[in-house]
Structure 1
Amino acid sequence: MTAATAPTLTGERADLLETLATHRWFLRHTVAGLTTEQATRRTTVSELTLAGIVKHVAMTEASWADFAVRGTAAMEQPPEEWAQQWVLGPGETLETVLALYADVAARTDELVRTVDLDSSHPLPEAPWFEPGAVRSARRVFLHVVAETAQHAGHADILREALDGQKTMG
Structure 2
Amino acid sequence: MTATTTPSSTTTPSTPAPVTGERADLLIALEKQRHFLRFTTRGLTDEQAGLRTCASELCLGGLVKHVSTVERLWAEFIVQGPSAMPDFSAMTEADFARRADEFRLLPGETLAGVLAAYAEVARRTDELVATLPDLDATQPLPKAPWFEADAEWSARRVLLHIIAETAQHAGHADIIRESLDGAKSMG
> What TM-score range do you get, normalising by the shorter chain?
over 0.9
Bigger relative contact order, structure 1 or 2, given CA contacts below 8 A and separation 6+? 1
Structure-2 residue corresponding to 1:26: 36
Letter of the 1:34 partner, please give it.
Answer: L
Report SS of the residue matched to 1:125. Answer: coil
Distance 2:148 2:86 in 1: 17
Report SS of the residue matched to 2:63. Answer: helix
Structure-1 residue corresponding to 2:4: none
1:6 matched to 2:13? The reply is no
Distance 1:102 1:82 in 2: 21
Structure-2 residue corresponding to 1:108: 125
Letter of the 1:156 partner, please give it.
Answer: D
Distance 2:131 2:26 in 1: 12
C-alpha distance 53-18 of structure 1, shift in aligned 2 (>3 A): same
C-alpha distance 125-4 of structure 1, shift in aligned 2 (>3 A): closer
Structure-2 residue corresponding to 1:15: 25
Residues 1-169 of structure 1: matches in 2 within 5 Å?
Answer: 6-76=16-86, 78-115=95-132, 116-169=134-187
C-alpha distance 58-127 of structure 1, shift in aligned 2 (>3 A): same
1:120 shift after superposition? 1.1
Question: TM-score, normalising length from structure 2?
Answer: 0.85
Runs (5+) with no aligned partner, structure 2: 1-11, 88-94
Say how many residue pairs are matched.
168
Distance 2:148 2:175 in 1: 31
| Identical pairs, percent | 60
Runs (5+) with no aligned partner, structure 1: none
C-alpha distance 82-4 of structure 1, shift in aligned 2 (>3 A): closer
1:80 shift after superposition? 3.5
1:87 shift after superposition? 1.4
